[in-house]
Structure formats: C-alpha cells, structure tokens
Chain A
Amino acid sequence: MTPELGQLALVLAFLLAIAQGVLPLVGAWRGNRALMAVARPAAAGQAVFVAMAFGILVYAFLHFDFSVQYVADNSNLALPWYYRIAAVWGAHEGSLLLWILILNLWTVALAALSHRLPEAFAARVIGVMGLIAIGFLAFILFTSDPFVRLLPMPADGGDLNPVLQDPGMTFHPPVLYMGYVGFSVAFAFSIAALLGGEVEQAWVRWARPWTNAAWGFLTLGIVAGSWWAYAELGWGGWWFWDPVENASFMPWLVGAALIHAQAITEKRGGLRAWTLLLSIFAFSLSLLGTFLVRSGVLTSVHAFASDPRRGVFILAFLTIVVGGSLLLYALRAPKVAGGKPFNVVSRETALLIGNLLLATASAMVLLGTLFPLIGDALHLGRISVGPPYFGLLFPLLMAPVVALLPLGPFLHWGKADGGVLKQVMLRAGIAAVACAIVAAFFVQGQLKAIVGVASAVWIAVGVLLYALKRWREMPRGRRYPAEMAGMLLAHLGVGVFVIGVLLSESLSVTHDVRLTPGQSESVAGYDFRFDGVHRTVGPNWHADQGVVTVLRDGATVATMRPQKRTYSHEQVQTESAVDAGVFRDLYVALGEPMDANDIEGAWALRLYYKPFVRWIWGGGLLMMLGGFVCAGDRRFRIKRIAAEAAAPVVAASPQESPA
C-alpha cells in the first residue's frame, strides 16, 4: 500500500468531484437527464476514492510508515494502535482528509435517500455538494498533502500531541465535523432551490431532517469537546470563549435558529427568504470557523503566518462559496412574503423573536471574536475580548429565549389563545418562584443559583404541562409525533443545561492546597486526604500519580488518582481525577511537588467541588437527542406523490425568476 496510491486516489476523487459539481448542474439547467444522472455515480465514486485515501493513511499509521512525513510527525513506535488511528486526524492535513470523508458520507447518504426528490432538484443538490468537495479536495491537494514522503525515513517518529491521547479527544473532532459538514446539506438544498427558482417550499420539508441531524451532531461534538476540556485540562472549566470554541458555537446558534425558521416555512409558508438565508449562514459559519482556525488570522501566534498560502486559499474559497451564495440570494430570493397570515400573539411571532435573539447572539459572538482584528485594522491598539464580555452579553440575549421557551408550544399557529397562555405562565411561574424560594435556603443566597433554579423550573414545568396537555387531548398514537417529542426533549435539555451552568458556576468551590502525605483538607463538607505520590507507567508515558482519598463523615466516598504524565517526547500532560456524581463532581488536579527532588513529600494540589456540573452536558445531550429524534419524524420522509406533483415546477426553466 504505497502512499502514492493515496495521492492518486485523491486526484481521482478530485476529478470526480468536478464531474459531480459541474455536469448535474448543467444538466438541470439544460434539462439534460443524462447529465443529471451523472450526479449519483460521481458522488459514489468520489466517496470510494476518498475512503481509499483515508484507508491508506490509516494503514500507514498502523504500520509505522515513517517514510510518510505526516505519519512520522504524528506517531511513534510506542503509540498504542487506537491512538495511531486517532492520529490520522491529529494534525492539519489528516483532519482535512477526515473533513472531506465526512462530506462524502453526507453526500452519499443524500444521494441514497433522495431518489424520490424531483430529478432536477436532486441533481442540483448533489451538484452543489460536489462544488464544495472540489474546493476542499483542491485545498488538500495543492496546499496540504498528507502523503508527502520523508526521505530518508527516520527510525522512529515524533509524537501525537498528548492532548489528543485521550478517548474524549479522539472522538470529538469527527463528531464535530459531522455537524459542521452536515450543514452543507441544508445549504445545498437552499442553493438548489435558489438556482431552480422553486416556487414551492417543499424543499424545506426535505431539508429539515438533515438540518436537525447535523445540529444534533454539532451539539454532540461541542459537548464532547467541553467535557474533554473539563476532564483533561485540570482547570475545572468547561467553556472558555476562546476563538476556536466560538468558531463552533456560531454555527450552532444559527443552526438552532434555522431549525425553528424551517418549521415556520414548512408549515406556514412564511419566512422563505429568511430560511434560505439562515441555511446559507449556518454552513458559511462552519466554513468561516475553518478559515478562522486554519488561516491563523486570529489564533495565529504564528503557524500559518509562515505559510500564508493556506490562509489565502481558504479565503478565496470562502469568498467564492459564501459570496456567491449570498449574491445568488440577493438576486433570486423570493421577493414577496408568502405564507399564511398571523396575529401578534402567535407561534410565528414567538419563533421570530427567538430567531432574532439567536441570530443576534451569533453575530455578537462573531463581533467579539473578530474585534481584536478590527482593532488592528483600525489602529485602535491591541484589544482583548474574553469571557467577561461574552459572559455578560450572551446571558442577556438568551434570557428572553428562556422566558419564551415554555410558551412556544402552547401558542397556536396564526392566532394564539391568550387564556391558555396566562394559565401556563401562572402555573410555571408559581412553580418557578416556589422552587426558587426553597432553593434560596440551600444556596447561601447566591442570586445566580436562585435564578438558575427558577429558569430551569420555568422551562421544565412548561414542557411537562405541554406534554400533559397532549396526553389528555390526543388519542393514543397521535400524542407525540417524533418531531414534537424531539422538540420537547431539546427544550427540556435547555432547562437542564441552564440549571447546570448557573448552579455549578455559583456554587463551585476551588481550593489550591499544599498537602503532605496523610494531611487532609476539607472542601464543601468533603475531606480530601492526600495519601502521597508514586511513580507509574503507561504504554508511552510515565507519570507521578497521586492518591487522594475522599471521606465524608468518616466514610470513604472515593479514591482519586490524579496524574502528571510525561510522554515519550517529554511533553507533560496532567490527567485530572474526577469522581462524577449526579449532583456533584469531586475533582482533583496534581500540581508540582513542593521540593522537585522529593516526590514523596508535599505537593500542590487543586481540589474542586462542582455541584450539578454534569447537568451541563446532560442538557447538551438532551438537545442532541432532540435533534436526532426530530430528524426521524416520518412526516419528513418524502412521499412519491408529493415529489411527482412538484416535479413539473422544478423542471421549469430556471431563467424564470420567481415572482
């Protein structure tokens, strides 16, 4: 298996991507069925070759082929096999390859599940996916080839960054990419709709499950990253508002807005232009995230500054894809607001407000992330924008969302019944206030914690009241369609997330201590007894491992083993010890020995007590589940009748501009 074959596979995939990106679009434009028919085989062929290239890289890693520069840089003989596989996406070139592979997975899934779509429309959608693939394959072939040889071949390789040598981190990038790239499907649908000048909004219904699934993956990817940061870094934090994190959060926010906008467009026909725009935004922000992270424009303390070619390439690609789509939008988006009318008090209005706030929050994150660059450009001096900024503005923007969330489902489309609404608000409000009062006794009057309990109860009671209403009013089997069940799960997830964030932020205790073996320190009613440090070894690291026994009222609660690892290339990495619980985490990180020559003496340790911190990820997982459940709704499966009815419309000449 020579790596050159991998390169060849990539070249072939590139050629097929060109076929997939150009011919079906031309075919759909000229009404040429033969050209349209190229779409699926080309997509499948491209996927086969990309998978082949990916497989060859995996093989090279598994067989220690250090004659490949990328392998030599990111693995060594001591690295266990599972981390050698993870090493494939351990650096720039390989993670790009993974990105393309995932793009191909989505395309193939789309090609397989779109047989009932109108022919021309499906051809356009797959064609647009092909255009995206062309860009990324060109990027990898021309600037970031993972198969470059290293001669003479070294006897052993470098090392995979120890940061990656953690189960959480091995799976975080692929899942995150599933989310990022998944938005390309909704994007391709909108572009196809714009190109074809769809009069119907049927395409929105077809796009919905894809959007929900992508958003679910993105949620999972972010949760995994956050959990990993918490467990691995020893700071007890779970979100840092770092530019790289923000890059993943912006598409998430827009994706959440898009999911709701699609619901309006699909069911009521309104907001067509806005839904188109959001689909473009969601994927554009995914691409933008890639650009920001890889061009080094923001995180650059150097990296790409040494190779501006990559930055320029992505910027050019971004300009073509995003600029082109927005121009297309400007020229062809439906000009007349369609859809059914609605009252001020209606579900449409509530969703619009929610959309506005989510979109504004995303814009705020973008502004805060880019502002240092704006500062440079306008000579305002070097400016830092960090957690205090985002941490102030984001909750302000999200507070109305939390307030509206439980009411949404009770609002009817078109015109809502104020009486029902008042009743819900009264019940949820009373429950929230009552719980807040009870909570106040337990949280030492911490306002943040009380607000957290109140908002979570407000959301949860609202969701449960709606579930109850459906249970009472609807016949069995019709009570909870998947789409609604998903919505309820995701909304409940928001409540769980809110309580997790606010309680853990306000009630956590952090304590840096110096302990000699046998000494104890009490944190939040738990006694942490330090039992000393000893040496231990792993497959490619050795470590100082501390033993900390946690006692409560004399009974052992947990034995924790925080480590300080040194990997084969002298990189040091801490492994925090976490004792997870539903209502609290105990967390110990090992610092430095007080005397570097005496590891059996006193050490600096950081002890944490973190109540409700799991609820943050629990809430995230519920949101993810909501996205997936929603995506599985039977209503979204394309009906042949609907497809045939829509076919003549799409086949119409694209020059025909919509009214």
Chain B
Amino acid sequence: MKRFVPFIVFMALVGLFGFGIWWNTWHDARYVPSPLIDKPAPDFALPKLDAPEQNVTKASLLGKPYLLNVFGSWCVACAEEHPVLMSDGRRLGIVLVGYDYKDAPDDAKAWLRDRGNPYDLVIADQPGRTAIDFGVYGAPESFLIDAKGVIRYKHIGPLTPEVIAQELQPAIDAVKREAP
C-alpha cells in the first residue's frame, strides 16, 4: 500500500490542476475580493468634475444608497462599459455617482460630452489618493454604498447586462428594501 502513496498524491494534484483549468475558464485570475465589503466606505472629500470649487464628501452623500462607478477617459474597458451604463443606468433605480480616476478634467469632460453622461454626479480624483482608500486597482470598478455609507457590493471590471441582472440589481434591491 505504501507504494501507492506517490500515485495517490499525484492524482490529488491532477484533481487540483483540473480544478485550476476549470476555475480559470470562468474566473478572472486578477480578481481580488475587496476587504471593504460590509465596512463603512472611507471618508473622502473630492471636487465635482464640472465645478471643482465644490467638494463632495462622504457625509454629503449619506441618506440614500448610491452606486460609485470608477472610470477614466484613458481606460479602454470603461469605454466598453459606458454604453451599458447609458442604456441600463437609469433603470437601476439608484443614484449613479461617477468617480473620475487619475484623469485630466478636460479629457474627462470631453469624454462624457462625446459619449453621453450617465451619472447624476461626477467627482474627480486626479491624484488618485482617495482611490487607494477605496482599494481601487483597476478601472472600471463599481461600489454599491448604502444609505448609512457602508460598502455592500463591489464589482471589478465592466458592468455588463449579465452582471447587472445577476449580481448588481439583486444587491441594489436588498439595499433599497432596508432603507427606502
């Protein structure tokens, strides 16, 4: 029996590799779950994109749930996501806050002008300092923040109709049920 040990260990490895192949066919290897889920969103104070003299803070957004969508005019995947937000954004039934990440304000404005602006409000984080507190590491990223300012759900990568239907919309419904 002892002589079967290497064979058994190897077959366990094969199982692991099989799992790896299967996992990688539907799982994004770069995806890292955020430790901030169900934790209060970090405090921030960022200028509005079209009115830099006005600051938007976490406190000023409390009271209503909102979807914080990190984007940038330089970001290719954001351009892919954009039409989805244009068509489905309104139907989410939630405030859409655009988070313009590491972007020149003029580029961002032109980008929104050319493609349309799906957001109720756009804040700009040109230095990218606040984004570190949010644990942003790629764009687009979307944070669902409830009325009490707690991050309830995060999606990394472009929102697609599938993601919205399967994950985002149920999360939004849940958040809205507890804080009408």
Contact = CB atoms under 8 A, between A and B. Distances in A.
Asked if A and B form a direct contact in the complex, defined as CB atoms under 8 angstroms apart, the reply is yes
Interface string B1-23: 00110110011011011111101
B24 A330 contact: no
Contacts, number: 75
B25 A315 contact: no
A537 to B, nearest CB: 30
B17 A291 contact: yes
A238 interface: no
A504 interface: no
A301 B7 contact: no
Contacts of A280: 6
A50 interface: no
B33 interface: yes
Contacts of A315: 14, 17-18, 21
Contacts of A301: 29-30
B20 A323 contact: no
B32 interface: yes
A302 B29 contact: yes
A528 to B, nearest CB: 33
A494 interface: no
A284 B11 CA distance: 13
Nearest to A295: B21
Interface stretch (A115-123, A304-312, A412-420): A304-312
Contact of B6 (A277, A295, A304, A319): A277
Contacts of B33: 381-382
A330 B4 CA distance: 5
B34 to A, nearest CB: 11
A295 B25 contact: no
Contacts of A296: 24
Contacts of B11: 323
Of A273, A280, A330, A331, most buried by chain B (CB within 10 Å of CB) is: A330
Contact of B20 (A319, A322, A330, A373): A373
Interface in B12-63: 13-14, 16-21, 23-25, 27, 29-33
Contacts of A329: 3, 6-7
Interface string A162-187: 00000000000000000000000000
A280 B32 CA distance: 37
Contacts of A281: 6
A377 B3 contact: no
B32 A377 contact: no
A331 B6 CA distance: 12
A52 B60 CA distance: 73
B3 A297 contact: no
A97 to B, nearest CB: 24
B14 A323 contact: yes
B30 to A, nearest CB: 6
Contact of B10 (A323, A376, A377, A381): A323
Of B18, B25, B31, B33, most buried by chain A (CB within 10 Å of CB) is: B25
Given A315-B14, A318-B14, A297 B20 contact: yes
Contacts of B21: 295, 297, 308, 311-312, 315
A283 to B, nearest CB: 13
B154 to A, nearest CB: 14
A653 to B, nearest CB: 22
A374 interface: yes
Given A291-B17, A315-B17, A381-B33, A330 B25 contact: no
A522 interface: no
Contacts of B31: 382
B14 A319 contact: yes
B27 to A, nearest CB: 8
B16 A377 contact: yes
A373 B18 CA distance: 11
Nearest to A312: B21
A298 interface: yes
Interface string A276-298: 01001100100000010001111
B19 A377 contact: yes
A263 to B, nearest CB: 22
B18 to A, nearest CB: 6
Contact of A322 (B4, B10, B16, B30): B10
B29 A330 contact: no
A337 interface: no
B29 A305 contact: yes
Nearest to B1: A330
Nearest to A296: B24
A615 to B, nearest CB: 36
A327 B32 CA distance: 39
Contacts of A308: 21, 24-25
Nearest to A305: B24
Interface in A322-336: 322-323, 326-327, 329-331, 333, 335
* A-B complex: 6 closest residue pairs judged by Cβ atoms: A297-B20, A326-B7, A330-B3, A305-B24, A311-B21, A330-B4
25 contacts: A273-B3, A277-B6, A291-B17, A297-B17, A297-B21, A298-B20, A304-B24, A305-B24, A305-B25, A308-B21, A311-B24, A315-B17, A315-B18, A319-B14, A322-B10, A323-B11, A326-B6, A326-B10, A329-B6, A330-B3, A330-B4, A373-B17, A373-B20, A376-B20, A377-B16
Given A305-B25, A327-B7, A374-B16, 10 more contacts: A277-B6, A295-B21, A311-B21, A319-B14, A323-B11, A329-B7, A330-B3, A373-B16, A373-B17, A377-B16
